[in-house]
Structure 1
């Protein structure tokens, strides 16, 4: 599932290409009613966590959640016939965008969007984020911090990669109970997530390895993975830790694979 930086990157792209102009919105697949937004001016595109919003007015906001299989494809004119099951198509003056396979694609009102966002935790990529809201939930919980960071009602936008990597970078065992995370550590975790996720928006992939541990510095082979990006522990189960050489561990937590270094992140 795409993590928050991907949705913010899409929001910026769609805002740049379509905002301020009338947009043709259709559903070639027929599973999305575009009639309330077709031909209207797109005011802005924005994201909160893993949710994307195309705002046409207080009465018409397209909400998209990509889920596991949703994808956007971006193209320049000329507009071609739909290929596959296109849930939503946007056509602007110079570009067109197709959406396939999302978990959610629906038109909401401003009131409904506010209610949806109220259920989400603060997003490290939003200027209006309040990290205190997340800390208040974490510090009262006996749930593992590895589970809390993935709970979108606690913290919005963090997925499996950022979860594994930020905990490694701060030497925190993922099964540490939330109430054992003190203020100083939480401030460090939040600040690091802001930096890492902003970098992800900029380059379009997740890189978490510090400069001194990059392949060109250490002489190791670059990572070979379809997800791209240099990471410390994510999807490196059984491989040596980049810092200490201990095999990276893996376990399941709340239905998702968890990765950590037993030596660098002691329990």
Structure 2
């Protein structure tokens, strides 16, 4: 499932390519035909990501809410305007994480996880790129326009030069302004939305009043927005926190440290497009980690492998119907 950094990057792509423009909307699959008809011809006025959900505002006080869920993805094609202030694989990456490390040679992720590097250099370019948790784009010069519909497209949004196809979302619904605000009100704080200090207080209060294991609380989108399986495992390891500890038993200073670490890791994820959670790497180690996801995490997806700190085998268990990776010694 796409985690918070991916959804924020997708929202930024919509902000650059769709806001201020009228869209032709259709539902090639047919499952969103009525909604597409209502959207058709309206101008996109704003876009906002909150955790794992994106909200697209159109004229006439009509909002589109999209939750990609486990299988959803956006496919962009046409002229994609990439923000030159955000690092891409054709420029410098990881300044946030590497304290000034200067990496000028392109880093290509074999798993295709970096959405902006898939789009290409910070300029207008005609491409085809999928944006979800694992993203990959291919140059598509001279392709047919509008692009042919491929597969089950729930919603197609089309400007004169850019196309966005939505496939397999958990939610794709239209909302009134009041309904949109009510949806957001049910979500936990997102470090990139609203006041950081206020978000921290909300997070601390929500965690400290519950007997639920902290591993479940971090995945509860009503407690904190945007954290998924990868960030959950990594945040808990970085805090050396036993995932089964009840929220109310986690020291307040540890809860605050979790929030501040999430603020930091989310910023890195938005900048690089990858869930980089390891610190103080050499340029060579950093390059390897950016190219291969198995080299950029402490415990996630490392079942049975030795802990990078103590050598104990990483444990995999199921909690809340999701996989949890942790070190039984470092996080005892």
TM-score, length of structure 1 as denominator length? 0.92
Match of 1:246 among 302, 312, 316: 312
Provide the residue aligned with 2:2 in structure 1.
Answer: 2
Check 1:215–1:255 CA distance in 2 against 1; reply closer, same or farther (3 A cut). farther
Q: Kindly tell me: are residues 229 and 69 of structure 1, through their superposed partners in 2, closer, same or farther at Cα, counting changes over 3 Å? A: farther
Q: Which runs of 5+ in 1 are unaligned?
A: none
1:199 paired residue number:
268
Map of 1:64 onto structure 2: 66
In 1, distance between residues paired with 2:319 and 2:283?
30
Q: Indicate the residue corresponding to 2:280 in structure 1.
A: 211
Gaps of at least 5 residues in structure 2 are 80-144
How far, CA to CA, are the matches of 1:53 and 1:3 in structure 2?
Answer: 16
Within 1, Cα distance between the matches of 2:247 and 2:30? 45
How far the C-alpha of 1:222 sits from its partner, in A, is 5.5
Q: What is the count of residue pairs matched by the alignment?
A: 262
Distance 2:11 2:294 in 1: 21
Counterpart check, 1:158 vs 2:227: yes
Secondary structure of the residue aligned to 1:47 is: strand
Q: 8 Å contact 2:269–2:276 — kept in the other structure? A: yes
Residues 109-120 of structure 1: pairs in structure 2 closer than 5 A? 109-120=176-187
Distance 2:231 2:270 in 1: 13
Q: 1:19 to 1:229 in 2, by over 3 A?
A: farther
Which residue of structure 2 lines up, in the alignment, with residue 184 of structure 1? 253
> 1:126 — aligned with what?
193
Contact 1:27–1:88 (CA under 8 A) maintained in structure 2: yes
| 3-state secondary structure, aligned to 2:39 | coil
Q: Post-superposition shift, 1:114?
A: 1.0
* Matches of 2:295 and 2:176, distance apart in 1: 37
**TM-score, normalised by the number of residues in structure 2:** 0.75
Deviation at 1:128, TM superposition (A): 3.8
- Counterpart CA distance in 2 for 1:38 and 1:128 is 34
1:138 maps onto 2:233 in alignment = no
Q: How many Å apart are 1:229 and its aligned residue?
A: 6.3
Give the match for residue 302 of structure 2.
236
Q: Once structures 1 and 2 are overlaid, which stretch shifts more, 71-80 or 159-168?
A: 71-80
> Equivalences for 1:1-80 in 2 at 5 Å?
1-32=1-32, 33-57=35-59, 59-76=61-78, 78-80=145-147
Q: Which of 154, 159, 164 does residue 92 from structure 1 map onto?
A: 159
Secondary structure of 2:14 counterpart: helix
CA distance in 2: counterparts of 1:16 and 1:228, whole angstroms: 32
Secondary structure at 2:31's aligned position in 1? coil
Distance 1:89 1:12, change over 3 A: same
Moved over 4 A (4+): 221-225
CA change 1:41–1:58 in 2 (3 A) is closer
Higher relative contact order (CA 8 A, sep 6+): 2
CA RMSD of aligned residues (A): 2.0
Question: Would you say the 8 A contact 1:206–1:229 is kept in 2?
Answer: no
Match of 1:262, SS?
coil
What secondary structure does 1:34 align onto? helix
